[in-house]
A and B are shown apart, each in its own frame.
Chain A
Amino acid sequence: ETGVTQTPRHLVMGMTNKKSLKCEQHLGHNAMYWYKQSAKKPLELMFVYSLEERVENNSVPSRFSPECPNSSHLFLHLHTLQPEDSALYLCASSQERGAGAFFGQGTRLTVV
């Protein structure tokens, strides 16, 4: 069992659909993250959840909605996406400041 598990691994959705990405970490970490990786671009931090705070990247469109019910689970709810939202979405977790994040295998999202 890997430390950070993401489901599904691949997702194709229409622009009018609603779907959710799921992330689960088995490392006992207290912070979780969503990153977006588009072709030819650096990884972009989308959202951070920790015991202390939720830090949200203001540039993330409202069609992306995170949910963190507990320290082990993180969701990314998707609705009315655009084709340019097609990307690899990576979940990560970390325990402490500067410890580095451990990543899941990602969800390859295609919006048609």
Chain B
Amino acid sequence: AQKVTQAQTEISVVEKEDVTLDCVYETRDTTYYLFWYKQPPSGELVFLIRRNSFDEQNEISGRYSWNFQKSTSSFNFTITASQVVDSAVYFCALSGGPISSGSARQLTFGSGTQLTVLP
């Protein structure tokens, strides 16, 4: 069974502070994919990043960066110099399984972290 844990339910920061959102996952699959999504108040889930289990290189995209550590089964997300527009719920997700299985297409989500950036 797969599981994604986002222990931080809510985080509040002041604008321009850096903030890290934690994600810990569990899977028995040797090949799997990790994702981060952003859900603003409008409701739509916005895809931010995908990382496969064979690529542990960290990634930076503008103010966003991701730290994938297989040894600790973590895939943390850092926002640098946060802005009010970053306020949203952020979800970490996992997909994996044999190619022949429908489970390979399914995403297991964490419970989300509500980030509030105060002006």
Q: Does B63 contact A (CB under 8 A)?
A: no
Q: Does B111 contact A (CB under 8 A)?
A: yes
- In chain B, positions 21-59 with a C-beta closer than 8 Å to chain A are 31-33, 35, 37, 42-47, 50, 52
Which among B4, B42, B102, B109 is the interface contact of A48 at CB below 8 angstroms?
B102
Contact mask B43-80 → A, CB, 8 Å, 1/0?
Answer: 11111001010000000000000000000000000000
Contact in complex: B111, A42 (CB < 8 Å): yes
Chain B contact residue count (CB 8 A cutoff): 28
Contact in complex: A100, B35 (CB < 8 Å): yes
Chain A contact residue count (CB 8 A cutoff): 27
- Give chain A residues whose Cβ lies under 8 Å from the Cβ of B107: 43, 45, 100-101
**Closest Cβ–Cβ distance, residue B96 to chain A (whole Å):** 8
Q: Does B106 contact A (CB under 8 A)?
A: yes
- Give chain B residues whose Cβ lies under 8 Å from the Cβ of A100: 33, 35, 47, 50, 95, 107
Contact in complex: A42, B44 (CB < 8 Å): no
Which among B52, B99, B105 is the interface contact of A50 at CB below 8 angstroms?
B105
Contact mask B86-119 → A, CB, 8 Å, 1/0?
Answer: 0000010001100100111111011110000000
- The 8 A-B residue pairs whose C-beta atoms are closest, nearest first, are A103-B45, A98-B33, A55-B102, A105-B44, A97-B104, A43-B109, A106-B43, A100-B50
- Which chain B residues have a beta carbon within 8 Å of chain A's beta carbons? 4, 31-33, 35, 37, 42-47, 50, 52, 91, 95-96, 99, 102-107, 109-112
